[in-house]
A and B are shown apart, each in its own frame.
Chain A
Amino acid sequence: MRNIQAEQITEVVKRLCIKANIDLNPPVEEAIRKARETEASPVGREILDQLLENAALAREQNLPICQDTGLAVVFVEIGQDVHVEGSLEEAIHEGVRQGYTEGYLRKSVVRDPIDRVNTKDNTPAIIHYEIVPGDQLKITVAPKGIGSENMSRIYMLKPAQGIEGIEQAVLETVALAGPNACPPMVIGVGVGGNFEKCAYLAKKALLREVGQYSEKPFWAEEEKTLLEKANGTGIGPQGFGGTTTALWLAIETYPTHIGGMPVAVNINCHVARHESEVL
């Protein structure tokens, strides 16, 4: 058994909240730079230039890349030989509280969907736990803006709809998202499992680094195909028309029931924030 202090976890979460919101993930920035070289639309190229300038300014002036600093989504992989001294859950919320306050990030959480009173410290975080072998604890903070989250969808397809059905679902979601999701987007797709597992897979797909294909050869091919088709929609940067509608598309899969084929599409914007640390 290895002991980890709750205070250490708070410190890490705080640091990750700030870094993820200010320092654009390098593979995403690289993808924007590459897209700038191939984008066919002049207005589209202008937008991609603005995004690169924005990323540089954010870093230099210590400002959030985007004003929607999101809901704090936290993934915890906890080794089964780890013991946390104190409350793990409270340590995470405290990290979010400190990070969003000290980092001058926007507090966008309301305590109830109807009364809509702001909690003023961006808590509670949305936390996903996974128990893994070993004695380490990995924390990933993935702040998620609502503009793109609002354009995400889940489909309960029939097995007979096959790969064509999956492609249709993804492309329909991208078309409906259009300019609302701040394209160029990063697209996370979950296939299989059941209703909630599928949505979780789509979110997990957004944690994969931009540029990294699925380890399953069939699905890696499908990622290439779907990315090309998404870029063929013509939506382009900010929806002003162009050849860069998506920077990346990742698919995560899981076994499913003989009678079902759930597909979830979680749209992310070009900011695509996620930062990790291992304790």
Chain B
Amino acid sequence: MKKLTTPLTKEKVRELHAGDTVLLSGTIYTARDAAHKRIVELLDKGEPLPLDLKDAVIYYVGPTPAPPGRVIGSAGPTTSGRMDAYAPRLIAEGETGMIGKGLRTDAVVQAMQEHTAVYFAATGGAGALLSSRILEAEVIAWEDLGTEALRRLKVQDLPLTVVIDCAGHDLYKEAPLQYKKG
């Protein structure tokens, strides 16, 4: 497994290939559809963002509430397709990494190729395991969104798989063909 740290520069992105497994460490952000919508609204208005998108990694997750003594609850990925309407805009603004699960549209893949970004999958339904790799969590904007608020996380060895790389190779399309019967 490849070790990877944030910030995720475009040089690092170019070295990642669909099918690679990586352990990601450093600072990442959480956002789902509602927070993405607000980010795009701010960009449209030319107002400052609560996070710096340059070389940033966004994890699509809505965690469960943190029980006493923990920094965060269960924290696995949500379906990425719901962010597809917004992702190309964020990628154009400097976002280099997305973490989620499930299929992406062609528009997202094109933006990734054009601006050098990567799409990782975390294991869907492994929320307790992924939570154990999160060392710090802090809401940095939009607390009113509850689980969907924008958070800054510090992660250590978050296990991920590269699904779509910046050359446009897609593990979801290519790998199942090897195991298909009939």
Contacts and interface: CB of A to CB of B under 8 A. Distances in A.
Interface string B54-87: 0000000111111100100111101101000000
A215 B73 CA distance: 40
Sort chain A's interface into a size bin: 35 or more
Contacts, number: 169
A66 interface: yes
A189 interface: no
A69 B73 CA distance: 11
B49 interface: no
B73 A240 contact: no
B127 A234 contact: no
Contact of B74 (A65, A147, A180, A234): A65
Contact of B175 (A61, A120, A180, A236): A236
Given A67-B62, A118-B146, A180-B79, A234 B123 contact: no
Interface string A207-243: 0000000000000000000000000111110111111
Sort chain B's interface into a size bin: 35 or more
Contact of A241 (B74, B127, B132, B175): B175
A269 interface: yes
B40 to A, nearest CB: 17
Given A43-B21, A65-B74, A269 B124 contact: yes
B88 interface: no
Contacts of B128: 54-55, 57-58, 61, 63-65
A274 to B, nearest CB: 15
- Please list the 8 inter-chain residue pairs (A to B) with the smallest Cβ-Cβ separation, ordered nearest first: A241-B175, A234-B180, A182-B124, A234-B179, A232-B181, A180-B102, A234-B176, A58-B128
